[in-house]
Amino acid sequence: MPAVNSPRILLSGVSGPIGAALMPSLMALGYQITRLVRGPASGETQISWDPLKPLAPESVSGFEAVIHLAGESIVGRWTEDKKKRIRESRVEGTRNLSEALAKARSRPRVLITASAIGYYGDRGDELLREESPPGQGFLPEVCRQWEASTEPATQAWIRTVHMRTGLVLSRDGGALQKMLLPFRLGLGGNIGNGRQWWSWIDVQDWVGALHHIMKTELLQGPVNLVAPRPVINAEFTKTLATVLSRPAIFPMPALAARLVFGQMADELLLASQRVEPTKLVASGYPFQYSDLSKSLQAILAH
């Protein structure tokens, strides 16, 4: 049970595998957690908000840190309405939160917001670091606007970090969970030609990196949350099949992926992003899982 005077953290968007791992880790360190929730708030540990509407500055005052992960899921067919929800939930929600924090009587020491390696677009074999320019397409444009929407907080001298997250590996959901059934049935295989780079991170390292960011004052701006050893899709699928002791001989051709997922296939499944965690490594973060096989073995052992 956190002490009355323990540091307070404001947290948004804690559903899914990341939230399942993050919440217990923060509570174990004694933080008082208050959640931003859509719909009615339940008790003093929640604050009701609509991401598309301004927030009262007094409602977000007095927190040591703010961790903002909320946003419409990018999974699903990208209709124009879906793309509008993806963009608005991230850009408008982050801007409204940043403006409220900038005007708060007691501002946070750090604002940590979600972003994604989708910022870089489809870049082939190019090695991508935090200073690399954005790519072309829907996701790069959303990520660029998403990160820019924290400008009110930055201007108010709040240390602001954009976590450009890769493929998060977790036993509790996400892309890996969706892949497990076909692979366990022996129906897995490459997506497209298999040569596109997949930059991944174990969920335990994602959580560890967030704690590292919170306490490392020199980290600000974009930070790539990926493991040091990205792999091409063919290696990813082969490694997953090997860990499961199954073959990986049923590829999903690019055309089939586009028929099923539309634009999402080109910008997520077929896009190549060879990303390095330059800032995390330089600042001394000790990765638990740099090797894909060891990460998958640990996840699937449970």
CA dist., res. 156 & res. 103, Å (int) = 8
User: Is 1 within the bounds of a domain?
Assistant: no
Q: What is the mean pLDDT of residues 175-190?
A: 92
**Domain presence at residue 179:** yes
Q: Are the C-beta atoms of residues 66 and 77 closer than 8 Å to each other?
A: no
The domain that holds 92 is classified in CATH as 3.40.50.720
Domain annotation covers residue 150 = yes
Q: Is 70 exceeded by the pLDDT of residue 80?
A: yes
- Judge contact between 225 and 206, C-beta under 8 A: yes
Q: How many domains, in total, are found in the chain? A: 1
Three-state secondary structure call for residue 296:
helix
Residues 64-79: pLDDT tens digits? 999 999 999 998 889 9
Distance CA 242, CA 256 (A): 24
Rounded-to-integer distance, Cα 178 and Cα 38, Å: 27
Give residue 280's pLDDT: 98
Cα dihedral 274, 279, 281, 282 in deg (nearest 10): 130
Taking CA 135 as the corner, what is the angle to CA 190 and CA 237, rounded to the nearest 5 degrees? 15
pLDDT mean over 32-42: 92
Question: With 90 as the cut, is the pLDDT of residue 302 above it?
Answer: no
| Average pLDDT for the chain | 94
pLDDT digits (tens, 9 = 90+) for 188-210: 999 999 999 999 999 999 999 99
Residue range(s) defining the domain that contains residue 225: 8-300
Instruction: Give percent of the chain above pLDDT 70.
Output: 99
Residue 88 lies in a domain: yes
Which phi and psi (to 5°) does residue 36 adopt? -85, 120
**Interior/surface letters 235-252, b for 16+ CB within 10 angstroms, e for the rest:** bbbbbbbebbebebeebb
